[in-house]
Structure 1
């Protein structure tokens, strides 16, 4: 039998990433406890330091995808710590926390389902590496890891303030909660439909045109966008003076609209049959029939 390297052992990849994230959490909490300053600044600094640790581990294993679950794990860890620390168990805090936990667990589970070990990394990172050459590791740190960390940090900031300020539950907040729940459900349904399609079709060139994907080219991205607009709208009735907390939802929308979607569409157009025709017949985000 030939020698099997750890890169081929998916279970070892899970263990390494789990250990990495446990240590990153400990580092982040330690930094948060030992620095002074405004709440938003302390959380940001701790989050950035934790990300730097994940980046160092990605250098050691030469795989930037070690960062991939950080997008969904980061909010769950931070908000759980804040819930415990603040002991705010009001109706509003519990509901928004529950929705974000549901979103995070589902998205992390989706990552775990598609994880293939360290033998490969996200195709987007390979493309960036090819384009940037010697500057790749700097781009990896700033673009692949720190930028998403910063965006998700901004996305959860409204919830952090909602919990810390002990905001009273407002009936209008149900609108925001409903939008976030809807976004998470859209993501879940879209991902399940995509996994089912891929399991049934071994031909990579085929395009999924059933379910939500029949009317939207990126229903999973739509769900992510709705998720964080809903979170911001939840805090708005109580703290409309904190309008700047909408920056997270805005930047998240811009990230998907002008970076993630164009990269995905260029990639898909290279090997999917009749993709240009699909684009003409199907909306980018909103899952409604497109007038011809």
Structure 2
């Protein structure tokens, strides 16, 4: 069991919250100037990176230096890759239909409603989900087995996200695939390799904290919340509702795992 500096960790919580809030508020200002709120999706990964940097700075001298650098590197690599991917994917496009629908129901000022329902909410979620990142900075003692198992799980998740996003990008870039459902590569094993990847990344980061069991007990809410967001919140559930009427999606759904990767089922005779 590794020691954990609760006093220093508690003092760092407001600073981490401030980092997340600063990124989202800055993004809100940019979004108002651009007249488009889909930019907030880029800020999601950037906010986690900002929290990791601040937590790393605040924790110097309180935890294991090697683990601190590891947690900083893993979180920043994940956050910056995600932000870059979403920026490239959304470049040159208009407003996201999700935000159009949401803000179309705003009871008053769309900007105030967006600030409250999108930006401030995301800042709070970043702070909550990043608790294992913050706590990992304050775990004393050299990294042990759980840290390396967590790194392996993180690596699996990062690979699924990166490869899955690359495969989807190449698929969409081919005009011959316009209107078709992506069902190749990792997308033939799970309908959501990117969301499954996120799941692995955040449970992997949580495992690093598990070397200090009391800290793990206090932060387990974070990967649980991320899992719910991915499967029941703004991830899988909303995306599949949006795609439900797409030609070929029902057949794809019937033969492809909804989340955890599994060998694809054989196509039905009518789907061949």
Class of the TM-score when normalised by the shorter of the 2 chains? 0.7 to 0.9
Can you give the 5+ residue segments of structure 1 that lack an aligned partner in the other structure?
1-36
Partner of 2:240: 265
Q: What is the TM-score normalised by the length of structure 1?
A: 0.77
Please tell me whether the aligned partners of residues 180 and 229 of structure 1 are also in contact (alpha carbons under 8 angstroms). Answer: yes
User: What's the CA shift for 1:209?
Assistant: 0.9
User: What's the CA shift for 1:121?
Assistant: 2.1
> Does residue 274 of the first structure (1) align with residue 241 of the second (2)?
no
Structure 2: distance between partners of 1:47 and 1:111: 18
Higher deviation after alignment, 176-185 or 59-68:
59-68
Give the RMSD, CA atoms, in angstroms: 2.5
> Does residue 93 of the first structure (1) align with residue 68 of the second (2)?
yes
Can you give the 5+ residue segments of structure 2 that lack an aligned partner in the other structure?
1-9, 267-272
Change (3 A) 1:144 1:126: same
Q: Which has the higher contact order (CA 8 A, sep 6+)?
A: 2
Q: What is the TM-score normalised by the length of structure 2?
A: 0.82
User: What's the CA shift for 1:122?
Assistant: 2.1
Number of corresponding residues: 254
Q: How does 1:167-178 map to 2 (within 5 A)?
A: 167-178=141-152
Q: How does 1:228-239 map to 2 (within 5 A)?
A: 228-239=202-213
Instruction: State which of 22, 41, 50 in structure 2 corresponds to 1:77.
Output: 50
> Does residue 193 of the first structure (1) align with residue 193 of the second (2)?
no
SS state at 1:176 partner: helix
Structure 1: distance between partners of 2:139 and 2:187: 40
Please tell me whether the aligned partners of residues 75 and 133 of structure 2 are also in contact (alpha carbons under 8 angstroms). Answer: no
Please tell me whether the aligned partners of residues 132 and 219 of structure 2 are also in contact (alpha carbons under 8 angstroms). Answer: yes
Instruction: State which of 138, 146, 152 in structure 1 corresponds to 2:126.
Output: 152
> Does residue 43 of the first structure (1) align with residue 43 of the second (2)?
no
Partner of 1:22: none
> Does residue 243 of the first structure (1) align with residue 221 of the second (2)?
no
Please tell me whether the aligned partners of residues 16 and 54 of structure 2 are also in contact (alpha carbons under 8 angstroms). Answer: no
Structure 2: distance between partners of 1:218 and 1:235: 27
